[in-house]
Structure 1
Amino acid sequence: MRKLSITKMFMLSLCLVMILSIIGGCSGNSSEPAASEQPSASPEATQPTADLGEIPASFKAGTYKAEADGKDGKVQVEVTLDAAQKITDIQVVSQNETAGIGVEAINKVKEEIIAGQTLAIDAVSGASESSTAILTAVEDALKQAGGNVEAFKSRTVAKAGEGKTEQLAADVVVVGAGASGVSAAVSAADKGAKVIIIEKTATIGGASNLSWAGKFYNSSAAVSSGLKISVEKEISDWIVNNHWRVDAAAIRQYVTKSGDTYDWLNQKGYKTTFINFAGEQLHMLPAYETRQDLLRAMLAESVEKKGGQVITETTAKKLITGSNGEVTGVVAEKADGTTLEITGKSIVMATGGYAANKEMVKEAFGFEGVNGGLGQNIGEGLEMSWAAGAKVPDNFGGQMLHQTLARATEKLKTQYEPFEASYPLMLSYLPNFMNVGSSGARFRDEAATLTAVAAANTSAFNGAYHYVIVSKSQIDALKAKGMNGVKAPSLPGMPPEFYATFAKQFTLENPWKDADKVFDSMVENGDGYKGSTIEELAENSGMDAAVFADAFSKYQEATKTGVDTEFGKAKDYLLPMGESGPYYAVIAEINNLGSVGGLLVNTQFQVLNDKRVPVKGLYAVGLESEGVLFNDTYVGNGVGIGYSFTSGRLGGEDAASSALGK
């Protein structure tokens, strides 16, 4: 979604804008959230506590400090136990989890532990790592106190709703409350439909809460700013770039109607900001910490105000079908165990795909990298739809591979300031360094790192990770003159949120202080390798010694002659590696922001069966329907979030029109 062909001045000004927008957002919080942010304990955790058995002789009441690894860093707690071995208080001293997702999970689990006096608590959907972190930390505190840990872990609390069934009815039922689901629910309600929207997590907004910007073609803001694209050329190029294996009508619909989504969102209070991103029409989403509230307000003003319901922490289990195969509703389960049977005339699937299902992604696409999307997106929405007769698309498997990550980053952040901790990450975005696969073979012109999609897909095609090779002489140059020392053509094209915390230091001329120490720490942490010779580096990293030696020799020759006979890399990017070690191999991985497709839809967002005929009553919007736009993988820039809002807006209207007989 980002490119390097932008000026330093633009990037710095954009970064300043992003800093203002992400304070309190993706960077997490350094202390426990205010009480107003803490959700109440779920019903199953509010029942009277039972005796936890004999108190061990080793037990000592008091307050104990403990910590565990969360998704975005350490979660530190202080746990207080009384003389009866009861947990009376849990204070979250420090955490860096994502606001609105991990933070809510931590608070929810904390309250359930106290209310139920148990560690036998299910992870909060979509925030399993954050949930596990606080459970692990509290368990550690119990061990320090000499408490009966097994009693806490084995004590289960019955769910209040188990065995109960509730029946609800609506004109339109939306499954999933991300950008596409919320948009579908709101537009359907505005059409006059009674809408029920369910969401498996406690969070409204889904992946849009983590996204940066969307593309709304020829929006009023873009046109008034003097940037207008040729619709016909854009559509034509899009079709050709995807080898014609796309739905041309769906592409035309998005390109011609997404601009209206910009105005629609603004009118609803969800204001995006147009930016000319090196000639591309991108629209930055509102400040991270405001997004969920804005989407909740949209739902309140339309869905709830018009008699519908917004039901969170409720997971869809299966679709209800009629005698003729029509979809007539959905069966779901609430957090307290209650079964919901929700009937409707139109059912809209907006469950966000399956990128968090490692086995499913590997089988469909062969990808084994990082899931940078939401943990709750495991594909059950697709499974339910397929079971109801939906076709598995011929291009099933595409993913939104879109960023390069250095495995070393998070651990280094606990040892160094953010700028220093990001040294390995920044190198993975520069074309001046040798890139090799796990075997040691060079696999691309490293200028591919200058374009996000090219960087991601060339790497993923060669395995779960690749290595960025860095020599002593190159590190010395970085220490002396910063990225200018290695002739970086421009700043690394990382997403703005990656460098927002060190924007002032993020310059080409800033020397890389202690770079050698940072890379040594990377190796000590197990996130990279070092060798005094190339042979030793190959041995330590598991590369084939002969393969790597051959690749290294050819690359060294290219840096001397200025001619890359293997990949045609430009002379300006062929940086000499010196004649002596040590050498380092940085482990670089690709971030998968989400799966693409899984349900075949027409331009009314009706889901099609194996005969490409609509499954009556079933609709799909967002990522699950996006396969009509792309061939085998995502190659867009801002399209993911732009399409989610646009498909939701249009699909919701279509679902409502059908339900109301209009």
Structure 2
Amino acid sequence: MRNKSVVKFTMISLCLVLILTMLGGCSGNSNSNKSQSEGAVNSNSEQSSSNGKDTATKMSFTPGTYTAESKGKEGNIKVEVTFTEDELTDIKVVSQGETAGIGDTAIDTLKEQIIYGQTLAVDAVSGASETSAGLLAVVEDAVKQAGGDVEAFKSNAVKKAGEGKTEQLSADVVVVGAGASGVSAAVSAADKGAKVIIVEKTATIGGASNLSWAGKFYNSSASINEGLKINVEKEIADWIYNNHWRVDSAAIRQYVTKSGDTYDWLAEKGYQTTFLNFAGEPLHVLPAYDTRQELLRNMLAESVEKNGGQVITETTAKKLITGSNGDVTGVVAEKKDGTTLEISAKSVVMATGGYAANKDMVKEAFGFEGINGGLGQNIGEGLKMAWEAGAKVPDNFGGQMLHQTLARATDKLKENYSSFEASYPLMLSYLPNFMNVGPSGARFRDEATTLEAVAAANTSAFNGAYHMVIVSQSQIDTLTAQGMSGVKAPKLPGMPPEFYADFQDQFKLDTPWKDAQQVFDTMVENGDGFKGNTIEELAENAGMDVKVFKDAFDKYQEAITTGVDTEFGKSKEYLQSMGEGGPYYAIIAEINNLGSVGGLLVNTSFQVLNDDRVPVPGLFAVGLESEGVLYNDTYVGNGVGIGYSFTSGRLGGESAVAKALAK
């Protein structure tokens, strides 16, 4: 026994020695590696404690200022980038045409991050991905011109100063999203005495309202003064009927009867809209585009901030905080610098703008594969947070705000032609005088549908990811000589005003279409349309079924000859001759989705409902995410999107504060 104990002790001792030796070796190796690492830092990179940079690879440049240019979202971005021997010191924007308050703000944000971190490894700014890509491209070009190592410059990572930090905040009401509905909710809640915190994931206040044209406020004081009074009961009844009764009639009544007050409320706050009798519809044109964000910021300053609340931008909500009984008690969010905010509140208002920029989500919910014309940051995060907290997914979930037709060719054509010339294909997609077919080559509608934006958008979207407008050589020749009056266009194309703002002087029916042939040929060369000397060749080039298209074309020609469209009932006045032969062109036309509609079911107090249609305590929703109560499966309004956003925000904020202060 004794010998065994000695042996056992000896073995244990040896093991301990070995372990200690190994630990010592590891420690020694670690120290050795650390020294080598520190040596590497001293020779090849720099550490800055003053600005919070992570270890960055030391760069080498040819000092000077270099000019570079690349495409953004709305046009080219041109910059001058200045370098010293080892650092990028300045990025000066020479010219850019990005959207005010969105694209230009993104540029400023990225400039700061690139210079601060000496890196191109920065995230695109939410809602401005194309602008972000454009700026990064021009800076990369400048780095190359200066002889810098682009890959090394991309590898430099900036540690967010707030990573690992958590801040605790509290408020009566938290509003997530600072678009029209979110700002309205925050302001109305603050005006009722609540301490409000509003968080916005981008640097921009106003969201989609910064891009919109007009809102509908029924029987506003301005409308009444101008002699337009809407029959409220008829409007409500028609609305319910046209949506097949699959709506919340109380919600419709609330909007129609109370939206007029929103006009006066906004005017009192300094956000003055201008009344327009739009063919019997009470539209109110929003303030000048470049003033809107400032006006909304002023509203927040005068109400939210004045009452002790906060406006926190560049901060993304991550999840809702819930209590043991399922009530919503706050929001967890992440600031731009990585700091986590835990904001406790008695009421939380979701105003996050829907999910139209989430292509997969839109396709799954609605089958739509067109263009997102709304904001790139609206990817459904708010909806998912609310669903996780117990909110019901509405039975009509999936509706979209399909509202405009676009020609795929426009942007590329603007690189070589004037805006007017580049818009030739676009303008034809808004006229009833041309044959329209789906991807298979089948005609799918009376082309007079193009005269109404929502009807045009929905008929197209129902028939595929795009449709094609067929134009003959004879029609192009006529357009070249006589403009749109030559093809007997009934009126100017019904495009949104911003589409033709920069060529308004030429936007007339009798303006000849100079170089139309060249423009259409360039469209084909760019891959945004097709051409064929015969109908069969056009079908093959466009990927249509030849037999299907040939049959549709022959029937359309018969309708032109007889003046009777037996398939779709198109009026004789729009059945214009296409001439005797080719070549023929096919314009690719796509539908613009301005935003998703709905996703959360609410009552008239804008409380979010659960699967039992009972309010989730503490949770409210306004704006597009609550708009599904007004429509069946898709948006069919005109100005309702913005009108409802301001109105639901105003009323929802009041409801949220009433519940909060009653607790």
TM-score for both structures, normalised by structure 1? 0.92
What corresponds to 1:439 in structure 2? Answer: 440
Deviation at 1:94, TM superposition (A): 2.0
Q: 1:203 aligns to what? A: 204
SS for the counterpart of 2:198 is strand
Counterpart for residue 47 of structure 1: 52
Q: Which residue of 2 aligns with 1:70?
A: 72
Match of 1:503 in 2: 504
Residue 83 of structure 1 and its aligned partner are, at CA, apart by 2.2
Match of 1:170, SS state, is strand
Question: 1:73 Cα shift?
Answer: 1.9
Q: Which amino acid aligns with 1:566?
A: E
Q: Secondary structure at the match of 1:114?
A: helix
Comparing 316-325 and 544-553, the one that deviates more:
544-553
**Deviates most, 70-79 or 149-158:** 70-79
Amino acid at match of 1:228: K
Note the C-alpha offset of 1:479. 0.8
CA distance in 1, matches of 2:301, 2:146: 46
AA paired with 1:359? D
Query: Is the CA contact 2:59–2:153 (under 8 Å) kept in the aligned structure 1?
Result: no
Instruction: Write the distance in 1 (CA, Å) between the matches of 2:211 and 2:69.
Output: 25
Amino acid in structure 2 at the alignment position of 1:630: Y
- Contact 2:56 2:156 survives alignment (8 Å): no
SS in 2 for 1:345: strand
Say if 1:49 and 1:117, in contact at 8 Å, map to a contact too.
no
Q: CA deviation at 1:70?
A: 1.3
Equivalent position of 1:308 in the other structure: 309
* 5+ residue gaps, structure 1: 1-42
**In structure 1, how many angstroms separate the alpha carbons of the residues matched to 2:528 and 2:50?**
40
Q: Give 1:110-259 correspondences, 5 Å limit.
A: 110-259=111-260
What is the one-letter code of the residue matched to 1:189?
Answer: A
> Structure 2-normalised TM-score?
0.91
1:647 aligns with 2:648: yes
Write the distance in 2 (CA, Å) between the matches of 1:312 and 1:555: 55
Equivalent residues of 1:45, 1:157 under 8 A apart: no
Alignment of 1:517-556 (within 5 A): 517-556=518-557
Rate the CA distance shift 1:655–1:470 in 2: closer, same or farther, 3 A.
same
Letter aligned with residue 458 of structure 2: N
2:380 paired with 1:379: yes
Cα displacement (A) at 1:44: 12
The worse-fitting range, judged by mean Cα deviation, of 365-374 and 575-584 is 575-584
Shift of 1:54: 6.4
Change (3 A) 1:49 1:601: closer
**Percent of counterpart pairs with the same letter?**
79
Matches of 1:566 and 1:268, distance apart in 2? 53
Secondary structure, counterpart of 1:660 in structure 2: helix
Q: Which residue of 2 aligns with 1:601?
A: 602
- Code of the residue aligned with 1:522 in structure 2: it is M
Decide whether the 8 Å contact of 2:161 with 2:337 is kept in 1. yes
Partner of 2:8: none
TM-fit CA distance, 1:52: 2.6
1:47 maps to amino acid: G
User: What is aligned with 1:268?
Assistant: 269
Secondary structure of 1:68's aligned partner: strand
Q: CA RMSD in A?
A: 1.4
**Does the 8 Å CA contact 2:211/2:289 hold for their aligned counterparts?**
yes
Q: Which residue of 1 aligns with 2:84?
A: 82
Q: How many angstroms does 1:556 deviate by?
A: 1.0
Matched-pair contact (CA < 8 Å) for 2:442–2:552:
yes
Secondary structure of the corresponding residue to residue 57 of structure 2: coil
Q: Distance in 2 between matches of 1:198 and 1:228?
A: 38
Distance in 2 of aligned mates of 1:322 and 1:165 = 20
Shift of 1:50: 5.2
Hey, what's the Cα distance between the residues in 1 that align with 2:59 and 2:338? 31
The answer to whether the 8 Å contact 2:54/2:157 transfers is: no
**Contact in 2 for aligned 1:44/1:157 (Cα 8 Å):** no
Higher relative contact order (Cα pairs below 8 Å, separated by 6+ residues): 1
Of stretches 410-419 and 217-226 in structure 1, the one that deviates more from structure 2 is: 410-419
Q: Secondary structure at the match of 1:214?
A: strand
Aligned partners of 2:416 and 2:661: how far apart in 1?
60
User: Deviation digits for residues 82-106 of structure 1, max 9, x if unmatched?
Assistant: 222x212222222111010010101
Q: Partners in 2 of 1:407 and 1:131 — Cα distance? A: 22
**CA displacement, residues 6-58 of structure 1 (integer Å, 9 cap, x when unaligned):** xxxxxxxxxxxxxxxxxxxxxxxxxxxxxxxxxxxxx9994358553464xxx
Q: Residues of 1 paired with 2:498 and 2:545: CA distance?
A: 36
Return the offset for 1:136: 1.5
Amino acid at match of 2:57: L
What is the CA–CA distance in structure 1 between the aligned matches of 2:464 and 2:180, rounded to whole Å? 31
